[in-house]
Structure 1
Amino acid sequence: MSSNMWKDKKTYAALLAEFLGTLLLVFIGCGSGTNWGDGSGSIIQISLAVGFTLASIVQTIGHVSGGHVNPSVTVAMMVTQKINPILGFLYILAQCGGALVGSTLLKSVLPEEVRGNLGATVPHPSLSALQACGVEFLATFVLVFTIFGVCDKKRDDVKGSAPLAIGFSASACCLVAIKLTGSSLNPARSLAPAILSSTWTLHWVYWVGPCLGGVFAGLIYQFVFRAQGQRPTPKRQDSRDYEMCAKGDQ
């Protein structure tokens, strides 16, 4: 990694973007699941809130940091060499920090009687640890596979909004996985409420499953499905490579 990166304001802007983006995703996503006893917090409500929020965040900060807002996405980018490992590690720290602040803000504005576990993710009691891990693996695979597909710069057949497609994939996964595992798809999103509510039941599932799912999705797309067209890729100025999630090929 170029030493000039530390002197470049774009680096700090990218880290701030990941921090703020994850903060908002956790605040809104977990907040949408709050049960007020009036039918709120339904699976459809949560799924739409997560998808719409993710799409909005990626649209807003994608040009700054790539809009990862998820350690499993960043790990996939690192493994496929789309982001420098050191910068990727800093991204993950920013994401976890943002998630923790977002969860803390949510706790501060909710009445104590409806806080619950602040949206902490726990597998359904009827699922084994391996089954829960498999659900998170597959759901995150779908999300990251979508990200790599719609952000492939060599494709000229993709129409419409890439952020919206990413949001739709997240909503679809939530519709299936919420009852099973809480549909985390994001280690930072699970870590923050776990810390604040001391809910650690099979917490490792929410790191292993999403990260492995993201890595497999990234590798399969990169080496099997990546577009082979001759569309030119913008020249990199240095090794930071954090512009627009997966929207560039090495």
Structure 2
Amino acid sequence: MLKELSAGFCLKAFLAELIATFLFVFVGLGSTLSWSSAIPTVLQIAFTFGLGIGTMVQAVGHVSGAHLNPAVSIALLVGARISLVQTFFYIIAQMLGAVIGAALLSEFAPPEIKGAFGVNLPSNNATPGQALAIEIVLTLQLVLCIFASTDSRRSDDTGSPALSIGLSVVLGHLLGIYYTGCSMNPARSFGPALVMGNFEYHWIFWVGPITGAVLACLVYDYLFAPYSVSTSVRLEILRDNILHENEKEERRKHSVGLNSLYSQSNHKEKV
């Protein structure tokens, strides 16, 4: 088991996910601070999170795929874009990065401006059920955008995936802030929750985004753009085993998703 884990570990990709998630959470949470001279607006917070994710996708997309979100990694695992081992290490990196980002910002921010410190909670009299539904729907649109904007099979002009994904995050925040503070990302929720010691209703921000992300994967792969890869190749991808040449070619032709730049390389740095 340890041998399999070490064989699937790529240090460069791990560090890319950790650093990018750290920067995203640090900047995003920073936009929620209530400075005495300026109370943060919905537009400010929405565009900070959106620009943050778009910038990081552009910065490390070619290194790790720039998931920065456990829900995205799990969706790509369900869609057989990455292996189980890669998913495990990516989620660890994302969680560490989010905690470091939240903890460092907490140290820099004067106590009087922290407020709720961006902790996701049901708000404006939203019930837990309503909050959960909102998180499912908002993450659904985000992951659909990720799958569609990074689909290598498309022949039309898709524009910039980083910009599209960033705008999708902005869109989610413009509605979601009023219900939950808008998560769509379990790591983004976990960082400030741990720093503030506030895990009330925290389950919503795991169940909601993961459910929405998996639904998006199933809708895209089985309804919008069927991902026609054999079961044997899917299993090889999930196991991260060495593929035969014909399987490599089939995997290359049908490689789809945000992680395609990472998964297409068979010369990963092993540690």
Is TM (by shorter chain) over 0.5? yes
In structure 2, the residue matched to 1:20 is: 19
Structure 1 spans left out of the alignment, 5+ residues: 230-235
- Once residues 227 and 201 of structure 2 are traced to their aligned partners in structure 1, the CA distance between those partners, rounded to angstroms, is 41
Instruction: Mark the CA change 1:4 to 1:215 in structure 2 (over 3 Å): closer, same or farther.
Output: closer
In structure 2, the residue matched to 1:97 is: 96
Instruction: Mark the CA change 1:160 to 1:125 in structure 2 (over 3 Å): closer, same or farther.
Output: closer
**Per-residue displacement from partner, 1:217-246 (whole Å, max 9, x unpaired)?**
0111011112789xxxxxx9x938999724
1:123 and 2:122 matched: yes
Asked if the contact 1:29/1:49 (under 8 Å) is kept, the reply is yes
Instruction: Mark the CA change 1:156 to 1:5 in structure 2 (over 3 Å): closer, same or farther.
Output: farther
In structure 1, the residue matched to 2:198 is: 199
Larger radius of gyration: 2
Amino acid at match of 1:183: C
Amino acid at match of 2:258: C
In structure 2, the residue matched to 1:112 is: 111
- Once residues 257 and 4 of structure 2 are traced to their aligned partners in structure 1, the CA distance between those partners, rounded to angstroms, is 20
In structure 1, the residue matched to 2:168 is: 169
Larger displacement relative to structure 2 (114-123 or 45-54): 114-123
**Per-residue displacement from partner, 1:95-129 (whole Å, max 9, x unpaired)?**
00100000011001111111223211111151111
Q: What is the correspondence of 1:55-204 to structure 2 with a 5 Å cutoff?
A: 55-204=54-203
Corresponding residue SS for 1:14: helix
- Once residues 71 and 5 of structure 2 are traced to their aligned partners in structure 1, the CA distance between those partners, rounded to angstroms, is 23
Asked if the contact 1:137/1:210 (under 8 Å) is kept, the reply is yes
Amino acid at match of 1:102: G
**Per-residue displacement from partner, 1:65-88 (whole Å, max 9, x unpaired)?**
100000010010011111101210
- Once residues 24 and 226 of structure 1 are traced to their aligned partners in structure 2, the CA distance between those partners, rounded to angstroms, is 33
- Once residues 106 and 190 of structure 2 are traced to their aligned partners in structure 1, the CA distance between those partners, rounded to angstroms, is 15
In structure 1, the residue matched to 2:258 is: 245
Amino acid at match of 2:163: L
CA RMSD of aligned residues (A): 2.7
Asked if the contact 2:136/2:212 (under 8 Å) is kept, the reply is yes
**Per-residue displacement from partner, 1:188-228 (whole Å, max 9, x unpaired)?**
11011111111122110000000000000011101111278
Q: What is the correspondence of 1:34-73 to structure 2 with a 5 Å cutoff?
A: 34-73=33-72
How far off is 1:37 after superposition?
Answer: 3.0
Structure 2 spans left out of the alignment, 5+ residues: 229-236, 242-250, 265-271
Question: Percent identity between the aligned chains?
Answer: 36
Instruction: Mark the CA change 1:243 to 1:155 in structure 2 (over 3 Å): closer, same or farther.
Output: closer
TM score, norm. by length of structure 2: 0.82
